[in-house]
Amino acid sequence: MNKKLCIFMIVIFALLLNGCQKNEDIPKKEDIKDMEESEEEKIDSIKESMINMTMEEKIGQLLIVGIEGTAIEENTIELIEDYKVGGFILFSRNINDEHQTLELLNSLKKANSNNDIPLFLSIDEEGGRVSRLPKSFEKLPEAKKIGDINDKDFSFKYGKILGERVKSLGFNMDFAPVLDINSNPKNPTIGNRAFGSTIDVVVYNGLEVMEGIQSVGVVPSIKHFPGHGDTSIDSHLDLPIIDKNLNDLKEFELVPFKRAIDEGADMVMVGHMLLADVDADNPSSLSKKVITDVLRHDLKYDKVVITDDMTMGAIVKNYDIGEASLKSLKAGSDIVLICHGYENSKKVIDTLKKAVEDGDITEDEIDEKVYRILKVKDKYRLNDEKVKYANIEKINIETRKILDKYIK
């Protein structure tokens, strides 16, 4: 009796197994792909972390702001605790020496400790005449000197030095390298900040500097897209105009940016200049034609776009800063840089909040930007841990060794 029951069960199992192997029950390749993509979405920790973010937290991530003093103040704490800003930029006005700078950055991190998302802590440290760090650091040559030497190994090490210098004090982002081609001798703002006046020199050295900065875990931001090299007006003061068509730009100014994008640039800074033939109505930093059509679509860039300082003359002389910031974000940027004025930062945030309430910008658009920002913060493993000690002498010894080898 038991033997018959056993045989019966085997037959039933065989029939069931054969039924499961019918073609109509086997998942198609397309279905498997959809299932895999769906599973990837489910386990995306960044998207998961965004679920519980408030709109105030999301809007805050869209700003990097400046502060006025050399120590944390009440307004700064308010920007962190109430407005949840995504990061800060320091200038010479904020920096006395390495001890004070270390203390200021650590205090910013401490103030942000109740927020789940770490801060971008940024600075303009290019070397040469654009250096905000304490004078105790060894002076570095300008980018033009690096381009003149034109040595791949040296350029990488130069970028690594830049990264180590800023990281030693607690910064995690450097607005460098400059990828502008200095093609206009009358240019008042670029000059020797560029690696050279030819595509090859800028690409060859600029990309190595970018990768050198990346190599020590600091976020580099290449600048100033779509190219500030052929201008005769300083955008800090007013709006430069470039009379070149898109094909000319693609064959010259855009080449270093395209190459850097292909090599993994995580952040692109868009400058304030008017490309008259591309968009006669809006500066690049506010132009959908430049940011979305050219940078994102033509150059296939899908990472973080940040504006140059929105308090520069090119913007504030011609626009309301709140409306300009909204316009830039709608044009395709992810972060607006507000370097001066607590009231300016507050006005931008209030404008963005109202724009969301009025439907001028959607939550989906905000989410897309926040996702890109958080992805970069996650990639570089940013955190708000304090830096206890900056070994500047060690960095200076290494700097002198490298400079002595390549600069006679």
Query: Are the beta carbons of 208 and 157 closer than 8 angstroms?
Result: no
Taking the C-alpha atoms of residue 344 and residue 350, their distance in angstroms, rounded to an integer, is: 10
State the pLDDT confidence band at 37, using cuts at 50, 70 and 90: low
Partners of 304 in the beta sheet?
267
The answer, yes or no, to whether residue 238 has pLDDT greater than 70, is no
112 compared with 274, residue with greater pLDDT? 112
Q: What is the mean pLDDT of residues 44-69?
A: 95
State the pLDDT confidence band at 335, using cuts at 50, 70 and 90: very high
Q: Which residue has the tokens 């086997």?
A: 26
Q: What is the pLDDT of residue 239?
A: 67
Q: What is the mean pLDDT of residues 303-316?
A: 94
State the pLDDT confidence band at 12, using cuts at 50, 70 and 90: very low
Q: What is the pLDDT of residue 241?
A: 82
Q: What is the pLDDT of residue 4?
A: 46
Q: What is the mean pLDDT of residues 368-378?
A: 97
Q: What is the pLDDT of residue 258?
A: 97
Neighbours of 69 (CB within 10 A): 11
Per-residue pLDDT of 154-206, as tens digits, reads 999 999 999 999 999 999 999 999 999 998 766 657 889 999 999 999 999 99
Q: Give the whole-number percent of the chain exceeding pLDDT 90.
A: 79
Quick one: CATH architecture of 60-406?
Alpha-Beta Barrel (3.20)
Q: What is the pLDDT of residue 29?
A: 39
Average pLDDT, rounded, for the chain: 88
Please give the DSSP secondary-structure letter assigned to residue 26. S
Query: Are the beta carbons of 31 and 273 closer than 8 angstroms?
Result: no
pTM, full prediction: 0.86
State the pLDDT confidence band at 22, using cuts at 50, 70 and 90: very low
Q: What is the mean pLDDT of residues 292-314?
A: 96
Partners of 131 in the beta sheet?
125
Q: What is the pLDDT of residue 221?
A: 98
Q: What is the pLDDT of residue 7?
A: 45
Q: Please list, in sequence order, all residues whose beta carbon lies within 8 angstroms of the beta carbon of residue 272, skipping any fewer than 6 positions away.
A: 235, 239, 240, 283, 284, 285, 307, 308, 312, 314, 315
Taking the C-alpha atoms of residue 193 and residue 228, their distance in angstroms, rounded to an integer, is: 11
Q: Please list, in sequence order, all residues whose beta carbon lies within 8 angstroms of the beta carbon of residue 51, skipping any fewer than 6 positions away.
A: none
Q: Please list, in sequence order, all residues whose beta carbon lies within 8 angstroms of the beta carbon of residue 6, skipping any fewer than 6 positions away.
A: none
The answer, yes or no, to whether residue 103 has pLDDT greater than 50, is yes
The answer, yes or no, to whether residue 138 has pLDDT greater than 90, is yes
243 compared with 3, residue with greater pLDDT? 243
Query: Are the beta carbons of 103 and 154 closer than 8 angstroms?
Result: no
